[in-house]
Structure 1
C-alpha cells in the first residue's frame, strides 16, 4: 500500500496528523509530509483513517 499526497489540495488542517501521527506530519508551511509513503502493514489502518479525515481529499490510498 502507498499513500500519495496532492500538495496543491492540502490546506494544512492537520486532521491526518491528529488521527495518524506515525504516518503524517505537517512541515513548517503546514503542508502534509507522509512519513512512510510505502506503508508498513502495521500502519495500514491508521494511514487509511488519516486519509479519510482529510477535508479536501489531499491524500490518496493506493493498494
Structure 2
C-alpha cells in the first residue's frame, strides 16, 4: 500500500487523523493533513482506507 496526500486540497476536517492516527496528523497552525508514513503496515490498511473514504476533500489517495 502506498499513501499520498494533496495538502493543497485538504480542508482540515481531521477525519484522517481520527481514523488512522499512526498514519495521519494535522499541522498545528492550520490543521492541514500531515502524512506520517507513506507505506503503512498491513494492519493499518483498513484504517487508512477508511480515512481516505471519509476525507471530505478527497485529498488522500491509496494505491494498493
TM-score normalised by structure 1 residue count? 0.90
Unpaired runs of at least 5, structure 2:
none
CA displacement at 1:5 relative to structure 2: 0.2
Q: What secondary structure sits across from 1:33 in the alignment?
A: strand
TM superposition outliers: structure 1 runs of 4+ over 4 Å? none
- Report how many aligned residue pairs link the two structures: 63
Structure 1: tracts of 5 or more residues without a match: none
Q: TM-score, normalised by structure 2?
A: 0.88
Q: State the distance in 1 between where 2:59 and 2:34 align.
A: 11
RMSD over aligned Cα atoms: 1.0
